[in-house]
Amino acid sequence: MTSSAGVNWAGNYEFGAARVHSPRDVGEVQALVAGSPHVRALGTRHSFNDLADASADLISLVDLPPDISIDEDARTVTLAAGTRYGTLAAALQQQGWALHNMGSLPHISVAGAISTATHGSGNRNGNLATAVSGLEFVTGRGELATVTRATPAFSGMVVSLGALGVITRLTLDIQPSFQMQQDVYVDVPWHALLESFDEITGAAYSVSLFTDWQGDSLAQLWLKTRLGGAEPRVLPATLFGARAAASKVMSPADASRDNTTVQGGVPGPWSERLPHFRFEETPSNGDELQSEFFVDRAHAAAALSVVRSMSDQIAPLLHVTELRTVAADELWLSMAYDRDSLAIHFTWKNSPAAVHSLLPELEAALAPFGARPHWGKVFTQTAESIAPLYERMPDFAALADVYDPDRQFRNTYLERVLGLSQ
């Protein structure tokens, strides 16, 4: 099936591709790639920039059957690339298995998330791509490649931004299912976070903080605790100077929407606690922009202080900021490559001109900390400043030439951001 390209989830980007194809099987994917001068894979459209666009053709696999297969001996699951995390999580939980982490939205496709190093939170938790142990993808010549962790340069193939090919299937590490609870605290003193950053972000399996950068306190602290059994963890009424929320906290960016997962210390399966939002609900109305920058966790307090000094400029354009941590990994283009990281996320109001005007100043303020932008969100940095932040960038460019020799997967984004010429 072929259709027009349309817009992304947030409506801030209109795709320029002439066609969107929805192939029925891998053979059709191979034929489409081999027959197109410029083609890209399209996921669930949750990127906020031109990352997934192409001048000719887009290929969407989100409507193909998930085809989820669990190998209990290997502790892995293999599935179709376009499968959404919510669908995968429910299937795993039903059979007694779990992922190590999930993003805040279970609505995104697995391939799209891992290709952009999308993440959850936790001092010891790697991003979603770190669970990948195998990939099947269609190369620029329409050939089907299958690679695993035993393949040389595999660490350069997982977070690939679509530059190597169209992913058709993935294999992920899994573990036995576990119970979790989610607790929320409000009014976290800024001085407490800056003085005890590692202690606060390590207070649970997964931790998130929300702020608008104004005043002397952060609005919310979300603790997702992994339980050893069915009994809840009893938490104190106050923690790090913050107090336990008296009632359920709604969407951090929109207090009128009840779409968040269960809070209040009620035990439940990992699949219904790790995400912030419920799979059956719309995470937001999409009327927003998003940016995110990753700095070395060792510089967290200094980086936060710098951003906080810009609160008067940031707050009028902001819905909310979320702060999360991500463990270091070995994936060449991961924003957490070779360093434990703090991710500073901005959910902006839908004011593109004003946001784009502020971003260069914000990026300059974070530059001394080697801030890496999230590949799928809004930023103004180009290859000139980004490439030095990734020591394996030359190796990745060489890898792209191997798997896409005719540069069918190249687009304006890859040229601007990675320096890969079209």
Measured from the Cβ of residue 421, the count of other Cβ atoms closer than 10 Å reads 9
Report the distance separating Cα 140 and Cα 37, nearest Å.
10
Please tell me whether residues 51 and 93 are part of one structural domain: no
Can you give the pLDDT at residue 303? Answer: 98
The per-type count for the chain, helices as H runs and strands as E runs, is: 11, 21
- Residue 372: CB partners within 8 Å, gap ≥ 6? 293, 294, 295, 335, 386, 389, 390
Residue 145 has pLDDT above 90, yes or no: yes
Domain boundary among 120, 152, 176: 176
Please tell me whether residues 172 and 76 are part of one structural domain: yes
Query: At which residue do the structure tokens 């040389």 appear?
Result: 152
Report the distance separating Cα 60 and Cα 23, nearest Å.
7
Structural domain contains residue 181:
no
Number of domains in the chain: 2
The pLDDT tens digits of the residues spanning 174-188 come to 999 999 999 999 999
Structural domain contains residue 355:
no
Can you give the pLDDT at residue 246? Answer: 85
Structural domain contains residue 155:
yes
Structural domain contains residue 208:
no
The pLDDT tens digits of the residues spanning 178-228 come to 999 999 999 999 999 999 999 999 999 999 999 999 999 999 999 999 999
DSSP state of 234: P
Indicate the average pLDDT of the chain. Answer: 95
Can you give the pLDDT at residue 88? Answer: 98
Counting beta carbons within 10 angstroms of the beta carbon of residue 254, is it exposed (0 to 12), middle (13 to 18) or buried (19 or more)? middle
Report the distance separating Cα 369 and Cα 295, nearest Å.
6
Please tell me whether residues 42 and 77 are part of one structural domain: no
Structural domain contains residue 269:
no
Residue 285 confidence class, pLDDT cut points 50, 70, 90: low
The pTM (predicted TM-score) of the whole model is 0.96
Please tell me whether residues 75 and 169 are part of one structural domain: yes
Can you give the pLDDT at residue 99? Answer: 98
The pLDDT tens digits of the residues spanning 287-330 come to 899 999 999 999 999 999 999 999 999 999 999 999 999 999 99
- Residue 12: CB partners within 8 Å, gap ≥ 6? 48, 289, 350, 352, 378
Please tell me whether residues 84 and 146 are part of one structural domain: yes
Structural domain contains residue 395:
no
Residue 9 confidence class, pLDDT cut points 50, 70, 90: confident
Please tell me whether residues 49 and 84 are part of one structural domain: no
Structural domain contains residue 198:
no
Please tell me whether residues 78 and 10 are part of one structural domain: no
The pLDDT tens digits of the residues spanning 341-372 come to 999 999 999 999 999 999 999 999 999 999 99
The pLDDT tens digits of the residues spanning 54-80 come to 999 999 999 899 999 999 999 999 999
Please tell me whether residues 73 and 166 are part of one structural domain: yes
Torsion of CA 195, 223, 105, 297, to 10 degrees: 30
Beta strands at 2-3 and 19-21: parallel, antiparallel or unpaired: antiparallel
- Residue 27: CB partners within 8 Å, gap ≥ 6? none
Q: Cβ distance 159 to 129 under 8 Å?
A: yes
Q: Cβ distance 178 to 421 under 8 Å?
A: no
**What share of the chain in percent tops pLDDT 90?**
88
Please tell me whether residues 26 and 97 are part of one structural domain: no
The pLDDT tens digits of the residues spanning 90-124 come to 999 999 999 999 999 999 999 999 999 999 999 99
- Residue 185: CB partners within 8 Å, gap ≥ 6? 220, 221, 223, 238, 239, 240, 242, 243, 244, 245
Can you give the pLDDT at residue 255? Answer: 66
Structural domain contains residue 250:
no
Please tell me whether residues 13 and 42 are part of one structural domain: yes
Can you give the pLDDT at residue 11? Answer: 86
The pLDDT tens digits of the residues spanning 231-275 come to 899 999 999 999 999 888 877 766 677 888 999 999 999 999 999
Q: Which CATH number goes with the domain that contains 30? A: 3.30.43.10
Q: Which CATH number goes with the domain that contains 132? A: 3.30.465.10
Residue 4 has pLDDT above 80, yes or no: no
Domain region containing 10: 2-60
Please tell me whether residues 43 and 75 are part of one structural domain: no
Please tell me whether residues 172 and 75 are part of one structural domain: yes
Domain boundary among 141, 157, 176: 176
Rounded mean pLDDT, 395-401: 98
